Amino acid sequence: MTAVSASVAAEAPPIAESLPAKLLEQARVRGEATAIREKHLGRWREWTWAQYAARVAHVAAGLRTLGIGPGDRVAVHSENRPEWVITDLAVQGLGAQTVGIYPTSPAAEVEYLLAHSGSCVLVAENEEQLDKALAVREKLPALRHLVVVDPKGVRDLDAVILYDELEERGAASIGPEKTYADSVDALDSAGTAIIVYTSGTTGPPKGAMLSHRNLVAAATTFLDGLGLGPRDEVLSYLPLCHVGERLFSVVNAVWSGWVVNFGEGGPSFAEDLRDVQPTFFCGVPRVWEKMLARVEIRMSDATPLKRLLYGVGLAQGRRLASRRMAGHIGALDRLVLALCEVLLFRPLRERLGLSRVHSAMCGAAPIAPQVLEFFWAIGVPIRELYGQTENTGLCTFMPRADVRLGTVGVAVPGVELRVAEDGEILSRSAGVFQGYLDNREATNATIDEDGWLHSGDVGELDTDGFLRITDRKKDIIITAGGKNISPSEIENRLKVSPYLREAVIIGDRRKYLTALIGIELDTVGDWATRRGLAYTTYADLSAKPEVVKLVQAVVDEVNRDFAQVETVKRFTLIGKELDHEDGELTATQKVKRAALARMFKTQIEAMYR
């Protein structure tokens, strides 16, 4: 690692019109405060804002020696780690554009993203990611350099540049800090800062271009709405390629000055969360559902006394959840909650890694209200937000003192929101993106001539301005009887069960609804073990008559909450865990419905015989 200094801060421009400019301001004003922590080989290490800014300047200087300048594109293919965000800010500060690639992307997708973006440099985390690029490099004439962060296992080191060497090269150049500050000062706020590729559920991913101005608009809006600041901490764990994690680990972090923690990730996520105990936590529905499932499984294995305590405490928490959401808690209620806090809620939150959370969010996909109600009951105040890559995440946010489950809140300041005649949600704000890279047709279909962004989602606005999402416009099912049905509402209700991981509703132009269901291996496996039910593989477990009966009970329970036409009449258990590399899921773990319909065509048709 190169030596760092605070001298870069002295060159910061007076007004922050970009993230790199704000980084330099943080380094000047709060240079000795902690900016980043990383868990490395089981131990946490940290960098101050001055060190953070200096490393960014050094990497920028190193990239400049590779010929990177305004308008060029640099791709990053890595799990979350400090080098990801350092590279991102270095690239932006040069007037170039960062392109994120999901760590789970297979070689074919890596080839597509690098070719489509025309990336000149690829920063790969390790041997695994490097090998994907090497397998397709001959098809990528624009790709000039490969940079590797962790060279362990890399066979041909002569074919790559080590990240440490790149940083050291930049540090050894003449005045890297001043050169970076001058480059930042010359940035055009209307210029493209990053390219975020969409999930590609219906076709190849599209590259959404976000400007410096878009990112600043998101940063200032969220800073006001979240009520967070320099004393807060987050855990960076969702893919940084996704606009959501980018907002919280880079955009909002740099703007507000909060501390970003990078754990060891993967299987260590739960331990990382307990280590950090963040004050702010954002999770996609799958994360919250998994936490709830873990709690329920642990309690099913607990002693009778603990189960009784849990049942009574949770019942009180649920009873008072709606009052907490509205901010109306009486003296007696406070006494009950204080007792539940000591006996149940506080130890439970600490075990989950949420003991210090005073603000939590859920976004990126619909979530069942029952999941949110559970976390409110134990003292985790989750508020939903709604946005997408194409509006830099700016659309709606749940008010702190008026939480209404089943909605995603009201329009955030500066956002115009309306619902078109066909039910599609439209928004207009400073967050609306510049368009899709090299795809004018798709851009024109998404942004109309009046500047309204067409979301592709269907929803309803109530008289108080609260937005309720119905579903993706393209996913709405119209049955043979002409009934319009939102599949996600039924799917999310099914996935409240700790035993179900995936649920895909089928029924377009059919007489009734059916479902493809994937079990949750951990929880169903635990259930089977406690009953002495032996199994070998995921497929073997899914095929057990006892497991089919277990899932049938879940389906029957959910069916009671819906109208007859919306009930699931038959289901098939998927004999494998869905995977991104097999083309069944997007990089953001969204189900590719069309791909599943083709893959399980025989099973689907069998449910309609």
Please tell me the predicted confidence (pLDDT) of residue 219: 94
Quickly tell me which residue has 């943080």 as its tokens.
26
Q: Element (H or E) spanning 488, and its range?
A: helix 487-494
Among 240, 255, 276, give the residue marking a domain's end: 276
Residue 419 lies in a domain: no
Residue 203 lies in a domain: yes
User: Given a cut of 60, is residue 222 above it in pLDDT?
Assistant: yes
Residue 455 lies in a domain: no
Which pLDDT band holds residue 14 (cuts at 50, 70, 90)?
low
For the stretch 377-428, pLDDT in tens is 999 999 999 999 999 999 999 998 899 998 999 999 999 999 999 999 999 9
The residue segments making up the domain with residue 126 are 7-276
Which residues 6+ apart lie within 8 Å of 541 measured at CB?
519, 521, 524, 525, 528, 535, 547
Among 276, 305, 334, give the residue marking a domain's end: 276
Which CATH number characterizes residue 221's domain?
3.40.50.12780
CB atoms within 10 A of CB 581: 12
Quickly tell me which residue has 């980018």 as its tokens.
246
For the stretch 102-149, pLDDT in tens is 998 889 999 999 999 999 999 999 999 999 999 999 999 999 999 999
User: Given a cut of 90, is residue 226 above it in pLDDT?
Assistant: no
For the stretch 254-290, pLDDT in tens is 999 999 999 998 889 999 999 999 999 999 888 999 8
Residue 19 lies in a domain: yes
Residue 410 lies in a domain: no
Quote the pTM value: 0.89
The count of domains in the chain is: 2
Q: Mapped to the 3 state alphabet, what secondary structure does 320-352 carry? A: HHHHHHHCCCCHHHHHHHHHHHHHHHHHHHHHH
Question: Could you tell me where the DSSP H helices lie in 211-330?
Answer: 212-226, 243-246, 252-256, 269-276, 285-300, 304-326
Please tell me the predicted confidence (pLDDT) of residue 15: 57
Residue 469 lies in a domain: no
Which CATH number characterizes residue 598's domain?
3.30.300.30
Please tell me the predicted confidence (pLDDT) of residue 368: 87
Residue 521 lies in a domain: yes
For the stretch 338-376, pLDDT in tens is 999 999 999 999 999 999 999 999 988 888 889 999 999
Quickly tell me which residue has 């009046």 as its tokens.
450
Bridge-partner residues for 453, per DSSP?
Answer: 427, 447
User: Given a cut of 50, is residue 12 above it in pLDDT?
Assistant: no
Among 232, 258, 276, give the residue marking a domain's end: 276
Please tell me the predicted confidence (pLDDT) of residue 8: 47
Residue 396 lies in a domain: no
For the stretch 548-568, pLDDT in tens is 999 999 999 999 999 999 999
Q: What percent of the chain has pLDDT over 90?
A: 78
Mean pLDDT of the chain: 92
User: Given a cut of 70, is residue 10 above it in pLDDT?
Assistant: no
In the chain, % helix, strand, coil (3-state, to 5) comes to: 45, 20, 35
